[in-house]
Amino acid sequence: MQTPLPLTRDLVLIGGGHTHALVLHKWAMQPLAGARVTLINPDPTAPYTGMLPGHIAGHYSRDALEIDLIRLARRAGARVILGRADDLDPTRREVHVAGRPPIAYDVTSIDIGITSDLPALPGYADHAVSAKPLGAYAKRWLGWLTQMQAGETAAQIAIIGGGVAGVELALAMAHRLQGHAPDITLVDAGPLLSHIGAQARKRLVAHLAQAQVRVIENTRPEAVTAEGLVLPDGQIIAASFVLGAAGSRPQDWLQATGLDLTEGFITVDPFLRSVTAPEVFAVGDCAHMAHAPRPKAGVYAVRQAPILFQNLRAALGAGQMRAYHPQRDYLKLVSLGDRTALADKWSLPLEGRWLWGLKDRIDAKFMGQFRDARPMPPALPRDHTSGLAEMLGDKPLCGGCGAKMGAQALAAALPKVTRDDIEGGIGDDAAILRMGGTRQVIATDHLRALVEDPWLMARIAATHALGDIWAMGARPQAALASVTLPRMSPELQARTLREVMAGAESVLGPAGAALVGGHSAMGAEMQLGFTLTGLLDGRALTKSGAQAGDALILTKPLGTGVIMAGEMRWTAPGGVVAGALATMVQDQAQAAMILRDAHAMTDVTGFGLAGHLAEMLTPDRLSAQIELAALPLLAGAEGLAAEGIESSLVPANRAALLGVLDAPKNARAALLVDPQTAGGLLAAVAGAQADALLTRLQGAGYKAAIVGKVTADTGPKIIAR
């Protein structure tokens, strides 16, 4: 049997800047066998700043600016770690991200851009926003626009920074506010537009005057208040919106790395390697090219990408390195607010709508690289058995609970067990073992990986496995891990197992479960599972016991199955995927305590809300009504379901509920059979107590909801409306 090629080297990309995005794009087309690629970035998307003025002016939507790093990484076969790097140890070859163990590398590249020193200005953090990162600025801008258009705030703006960025944004905001008589002031600590040609500067100053933007040069603001910008002479520039577009500097954490720095920026050689640590590369604004110093500009970051791609491969053992020689000058295209632009190169400025069209085409071409169609699935061999094409279908096999077998196949395979030392029967969340006066529950769960990050996947798998213990009202006691890793070198095995154990312990330890051992193996792909025991101090909460009139409370929103299925098909946006992953690692310990007096309880996992509810109704032959409008849903889940996206397990879940589930054929109802990984608890509680319990759950941070009620109708029957 053919097995995947082993992994032998770790490449870690720190930061989702333009250069790294382009490297991932190239990697997707030309991967390097044996390399495991990791991208570390605080957010699931990265903005293309070249289109920011157009967005502020109203020419582009927010989505048009975003590079979806999660989608891009999947195409490149890379894992994504959503976190902010805050240290790098070149001696140990480790990257540090808050809240998780160090990430080891053989080769790493840094593309983290620059930061601003403006937040140190008194009052800035409370009353101003920086142009970078784009997300906070775009959100604040749209909120302010809404208030201004409603007459709730004055159209007064102050901008700190008179470089090209500040001028572009001033003109963009002036264009967006036409008809509202805006009062816009641009303040710079030095002369305006000091890094652009004299003729281009003259034209841009004229455009500012035409847009009635006031300019104050050679003045450094003293503070920001709720009233506006305070100048050294005590004058206050009235402003309800203060924007920072200046004060750029290197990120502070680079100082502690031991790398050679030039004014805080990583000093690199012609091959874009640190001059003190050749396995560390740096590109974009965070790097200083000692052999060819240049001003910070996105054009250099973009043109470094093919060189970095080749040199990273060479550092990993494939090919020869190539030197990067930046051009001396480059075409600067400056947006003028409306759909016109000014071009500056060699001090020969031009302007007009045709230049906006040129800039728009350049930007569209750049962003188009990250919106390529998904790779085609491998073709079937010419000769194959009957039924193989139908079995494969046109959808990849899901991970997590979406990869499980259906309820009917499982029920048919389970034996009948009757023993005095085992309480209850087969089919509950966990088995209850009697040992003298002690009652212990035992449960096991195993997941096919749905993310490439071993630490995060271990956290998801541990949270998922604990669900059965919490659902029975038991205290977690001990855990055994079952780990299958893809083939990799002994060094990568050790690194990966450290991440898995650290991720598992970060969930099991706080839950009270000691990780006492387990089993490891190598296979075709990563799979993680846990066998858990728990102790019962009182009655066991089981799937039976619901009563007519009970309210049904769900403690987590639905949608993990459809979102992760969409992620595998390059359909789910990165932000939506990040939201689903965050939900999966939310523990249910406090929710279980709050619901301790429920009549019946289970956790919602592979069989979906409707499937697990049917298991609760069957023992007592009850029915239930579900209020579709009350279902808590993850952002993006309903939209994906409306597109026809569904998890691998959905057909089996639907088949198991024939004659049981009566629901309309719409996207929201489709989520009733969506398999949940590390899903919430579903509890049947006395109707009179439901509102108070819900208030407690929501106060504890759970996005819980009352989703329906149990009825006395002979069942099981579930009616969803």
**Which residues are tagged catalytic?**
401
Angle at 111 between CA 109 and CA 116, to 5 degrees: 145
Read off the amino acid at residue 89: D
Per-residue tokens: 323? 């030197």
Strands 514-523 and 107-110: unpaired
- The dihedral sign for the CA sequence 266, 268, 272, 276: negative
Distances in Å between the Cα of 44 and the Cα atoms of 195, 460, 470 are: 33, 18, 31
Nearest alpha-carbon partner for 483 in 506, 457, 464, 509:
457
Buried-exposed string 486-515: b where 16+ CB fall within 10 A, e elsewhere: bebeeebbebbbebbbbbbbbbbeebebeb
Nearest alpha-carbon partner for 36 in 69, 5, 71:
5
- Residue 11's Cβ-count burial label (10 Å; 0-12, 13-18, 19+) is buried
Distances in Å between the Cα of 717 and the Cα atoms of 333, 412, 712 are: 65, 21, 10
Largest CA distance in the chain: 93
Sheet with 213-216: strands ordered across: 129-130, 241-244, 156-160, 183-187, 213-216
Per-residue tokens: 223? 């503070």
One-character DSSP codes across 366-413: HHHGGGPPPPPPPPPPSS--TTHHHHHTTSPPP-BGGGSPPHHHHHHH
Distances in Å between the Cα of 218 and the Cα atoms of 129, 170, 189, 429 are: 22, 18, 4, 70
Nearest-10 Cα torsion for 687, 688, 690, 696 = -170
Nearest alpha-carbon partner for 309 in 297, 322, 298, 325:
322
